[in-house]
Amino acid sequence: MDKYIFLFVACILAGFALIKVTAFDTVLVSLHSVFVLVGVITIIVFSCVLIFKGILALLGK
């Protein structure tokens, strides 16, 4: 098992946390669109990396 798999999963969870961080009424509400954009990009990138690693593991490389 690759040692970075859990790091990739943690990054995906951090992306979801960035999306939810402005759900509360705080001083960060003005940065809502930036946090959502960064969170979505993080989730997409690291999910694609995990899928790619899974395909490589299935092919035996």
Q: Are 18 and 35 in contact (CB under 8 A)?
A: yes
Instruction: Give the pLDDT of residue 58.
Output: 92
Q: What is the pLDDT along the chain (61 residues), one digit of tens a residue?
A: 567 889 899 999 999 988 887 666 667 777 888 888 999 999 999 999 999 998 998 998 7
> What pLDDT does 32 receive?
83
Q: Give the pLDDT of residue 24.
A: 66
- pLDDT of 21 reads 79
pTM: 0.81
Q: Rounded to the nearest 5°, which phi and psi values hold at 3?
A: -75, -10
